Amino acid sequence: MLKNLAPAAAILVGGVFALGLITPPASAERAVPIPPPARDLPAAQGLQTAVFAGGCFWGMEAVFEQIKGVQSVVTGYAGGSADTATYAAVTTELTGHAEAIKITYDPSRVSYGTLLRVYFSVAHDPTQLNRQGPDTGPSYRSAIFPQNAQQRAVAAAYIGQLQKAKSFGAPIVTRLEAGQFYPAEGYHQDFFRRNPDHPYIVHWDKPKVAAFRAAYPALVR
């Protein structure tokens, strides 16, 4: 989303959507074909969590809510401190936070590696440094926040695998980071579903969700 977004989420300039004439990048319209991770976590009982950052959290949330085995997705901030985990503070780009999502999933139905595959291939562009599409700044960086050592090992191995295979036309800039996740304000939660006709959603996030559904039909709930 654009910085300084009001809670009502109006991004209009003179009655015309400021980004309406910008064509979404190819990565937002079709999934990049990448192999599944060679290393993954085994199926297990009990819910697990994954925390990913990759640009505006509205679209990230919308993609992962589509996946079978995902119980819930919460938008929020990760990488900074609790006292700066607000939209007003994060948009200053001085807090260390990234816009992120926390995914609660059933590892007996969908693996951490599968979530990583969707994350890299369609949920965002892992070659863009401190930006995604129209959004710029370190709060829009590509970052994974592993919740344990096993997740960190799988994520690091997959990044190495994709780099070696030259799966993208540029180096992957995704960072593995530590930091607590803090939920975002209520008006950011389920934004895609509650605002299907919002111009930002129409131009940037609906193509991303459509790309996921076309590339991974077996994963669609």
**What is the rounded CA–CA span in Å between residue 88 and residue 25?**
27
Residue by residue, DSSP assigns 131-196 as EETTEESGGG-EEE--SSHHHHHHHHHHHHHHHHHT-SSS----EE----EEE--GGGTTHHHH-T
What are φ and ψ of residue 61, in 5° steps? -60, -45
For 26, the token pair is 């190819």
CB 173 within 8 A of CB 126: yes
Q: Which of 56, 62, 70, 73 is catalytic?
A: 56
The structure tokens 């990759």 sit at 54
Q: Is 56 one of the catalytic residues?
A: yes
Which residues form the catalytic set? 56
